């Protein structure tokens, strides 16, 4: 029997078979890798201008969310916002905002290829993040508008001429703003026409929901949104991250005591006690609602007793003018602070539009670029510190008009009007009106 040509001996030991086919396959694969690397090198060398070489120290100066987007672009070469979104796992609207932010500060460039907008690494020296922030703040200070006007509005005497502002982010309250008020909790929903408009907007802009309800309640009803701030800003979800306000933990035992007292004290049928739970399942706040009580007068007296007990525990109560319900919180909720934190996370500096329907939305109205109050039967319009007013039934047409105008808000939209009560405000109080 003939020995295979590939057989050899080492030091007189047992013959070792060396299969040439294995080495040949490895050689071919290495050659293919080399050819692919050559193709990549040739492709990059043809870029005009050449990609920017950035020191590691400067790259670390980018905020985490922008650095993640930048690295995704660097790994793909010249991707679209959709491709970057697939790499980072974040929604396209948020990635589009981050990409344009990087373009504005000189880290990326963009160009149109067929029907797509593609992004790639910029050439030249990018603007330092802190320099860009300082320049933006100085510009805002120098161009700060008169209160109640859009930043690019001019004043003619006492009357403001209608002007436009590009909307970069849409934020909204839930109850009474995009969903009807007079429905049981388990039937709460966003009407079809409004939901369709919001789904269309969500493909182009980040949508944030701010509510006094908890995350478990609102997220299931607003799948078109990208961020949610629940329980008046005590808990916020952005992507997979959940942010919680400081100072909750020490007061949770008082909330538990107040909730137990409320359950044992109410004897009138029809009174609802709605618990507001955080993402860990802890009750951090609750609502007393006697709108469907069989005996409203008796329920109101019992609610007053519960409110007095909550005051002894130094809990925060919010009562809405002429409404048969109130909320109990461990600390003061603040939608304005929650909105500002969300805008910072989304890197939105200008063009934030906020929709709300109650005095609890006033802090968010003040923190937004454009504020629109939603009016319905239970809206105390004179207490809303917003720029404009729109009727609840006209919200879908308002959103459609915003889409049709390419998200260019205008104060002369036909379904909105200037708020004559703009200077009226209501500050949160720690007691219940009697």
pLDDT tens digits, one per residue of 352-392: 999 999 888 999 999 999 999 999 876 777 888 899 999 99
Weakest-pLDDT range from 321-325, 334-338, 340-344: 321-325
**Per-residue pLDDT tens for 247-273?**
778 888 999 999 999 988 888 888 888
- Around Cβ 44, how many Cβ atoms within 10 Å? 12
CB 432 within 8 A of CB 287: no
- Residues of the chain with pLDDT > 70, as a percent, come to 77
pLDDT for the residue numbered 425: 39
Q: Is residue 96 domain-shared with residue 216, that is, in the same domain?
A: no
Q: Is residue 271 domain-shared with residue 309, that is, in the same domain?
A: yes
Asked whether residue 152 is assigned to any structural domain, the reply reads no
The pTM score is 0.63
Q: Is residue 260 domain-shared with residue 319, that is, in the same domain?
A: yes
Question: Among 287, 307, 329, which residue terminates a domain?
Answer: 329
Q: Is residue 275 domain-shared with residue 231, that is, in the same domain?
A: no
> Domain total for the chain?
3
**Per-residue pLDDT tens for 213-227?**
889 899 999 999 999
Question: Among 105, 129, 153, which residue terminates a domain?
Answer: 129
Q: Is residue 339 domain-shared with residue 238, that is, in the same domain?
A: yes
Angle subtended at Cα 421 by Cα 419 and Cα 423, rounded to the nearest 5 degrees: 110
Task: Report the CATH number at residue 79.
Answer: 1.10.10.10
Three-state DSSP at 353 gives strand
pLDDT for the residue numbered 267: 82
pLDDT for the residue numbered 149: 47
Angle subtended at Cα 329 by Cα 328 and Cα 332, rounded to the nearest 5 degrees: 125
Asked whether residue 378 is assigned to any structural domain, the reply reads yes
Closest listed residue to residue 152, CA positions, set 400, 411, 346: 411
Q: What is the mean pLDDT of the chain?
A: 79
- Around Cβ 289, how many Cβ atoms within 10 Å? 20
Asked whether residue 61 is assigned to any structural domain, the reply reads yes
CB 187 within 8 A of CB 179: no
List the domain range (segments joined by +) for residue 98. Answer: 56-129
**Does residue 202 surpass a pLDDT of 80?**
yes
pLDDT for the residue numbered 123: 65
Beta-bridge partners for 432: none
Provide DSSP, 269-301.
Answer: TT-EEEEEE-TTS-EEEEEEE-TT-SSHHHHHH
Specify the pairing of strand 325-329 against strand 283-289: antiparallel
- Alpha-helical (H) ranges within 235-378 are 252-265, 296-312, 335-346, 362-367
Residue positions counted in the chain: 434
Torsion of CA 388, 393, 394, 398, to 10 degrees: 90
Closest listed residue to residue 346, CA positions, set 169, 165, 104, 202: 169
Closest listed residue to residue 302, CA positions, set 313, 321, 288: 288
What is the Cα 291 distance to its own chain's centre? 32
Q: Is residue 384 domain-shared with residue 314, that is, in the same domain?
A: no
Sequence-distant (6+) residues with CB within 8 A of 169 are: 97, 205, 206, 207, 208, 343, 346, 348, 351, 352, 353
pLDDT for the residue numbered 33: 82
**Per-residue pLDDT tens for 9-45?**
444 554 444 556 777 778 878 877 887 777 666 665 5
CB 418 within 8 A of CB 387: yes
Provide DSSP, 387-423.
Answer: SEEEEGGGHHHHHHHHHHTTTEEETT-TTEEE-TTTT
Band of residue 434 on the pLDDT scale cut at 50, 70, 90: very low
Question: Among 329, 353, 387, which residue terminates a domain?
Answer: 329
**Per-residue pLDDT tens for 388-414?**
999 999 999 999 999 999 999 998 899
Greater confidence, 207 or 108?
207
């Amino acid at each position: 029997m003939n020995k295979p040509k590939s057989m050899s001996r080492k030091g007189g030991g047992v013959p070792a078979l060396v299969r040439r086919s294995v080495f040949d396959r490895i050689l071919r694969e290495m050659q293919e890798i080399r050819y692919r690397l050559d193709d990549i090198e040739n492709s990059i060398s043809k870029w005009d201008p050449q990609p920017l070489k950035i020191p590691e120290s400067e790259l670390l100066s980018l905020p985490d969310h922008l650095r993640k987007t930048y690295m995704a672009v660097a790994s793909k070469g010249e991707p679209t916002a959709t491709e970057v979104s697939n790499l980072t796992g974040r929604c396209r609207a948020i990635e589009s905002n981050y990409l344009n932010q990087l373009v504005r500060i000189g880290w990326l460039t963009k160009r149109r290829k067929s029907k797509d907008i593609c992004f790639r690494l910029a050439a030249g020296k990018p603007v330092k993040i802190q320099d860009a922030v300082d320049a933006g703040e100085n510009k805002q200070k120098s161009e700060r508008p008169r209160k109640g006007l859009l930043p690019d509005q001019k004043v003619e005497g006492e009357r403001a001429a209608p002007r436009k502002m590009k909307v970069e982010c849409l934020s909204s309250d839930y109850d009474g703003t995009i969903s009807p008020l007079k429905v049981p909790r388990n039937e709460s929903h966003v009407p079809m026409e409004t939901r369709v408009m919001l789904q269309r907007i969500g493909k182009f802009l980040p949508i944030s929901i701010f509510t006094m309800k908890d995350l478990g309640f609102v997220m299931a009803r607003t799948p078109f949104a990208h961020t949610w701030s629940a329980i008046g800003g005590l808990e916020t979800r952005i992507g997979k991250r959940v942010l919680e306000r400081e100072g909750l933990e020490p007061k949770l035992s008082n909330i538990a005591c107040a909730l137990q007292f409320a359950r044992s004290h109410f004897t009138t049928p029809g009174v609802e006690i709605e618990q507001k739970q955080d993402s860990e399942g802890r009750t951090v706040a609750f609502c007393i609602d006697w709108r469907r009580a069989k005996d409203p007068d008796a329920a109101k007296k019992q609610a007053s007793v519960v409110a007095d007990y909550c005051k002894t525990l130094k809990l925060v109560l919010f009562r809405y003018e002429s409404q048969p319900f109130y909320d109990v919180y461990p600390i003061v909720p603040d939608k304005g602070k929650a909105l500002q934190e969300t805008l910072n996370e989304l890197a939105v500096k200008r063009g934030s539009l906020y929709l709300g329907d109650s005095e609890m939305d006033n802090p968010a109205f003040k923190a937004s670029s454009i504020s629109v109050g939603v009016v319905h039967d239970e809206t105390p319009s004179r207490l809303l510190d917003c720029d404009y007013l729109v009727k609840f039934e006209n919200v879908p047409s308002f959103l459609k008009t915003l889409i049709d105008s390419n998200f260019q808000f205008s104060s002369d939209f036909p379904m909105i009007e200037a708020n004559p009560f703009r200077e009226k405000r209501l500050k949160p109080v720690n007691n219940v009106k009697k």
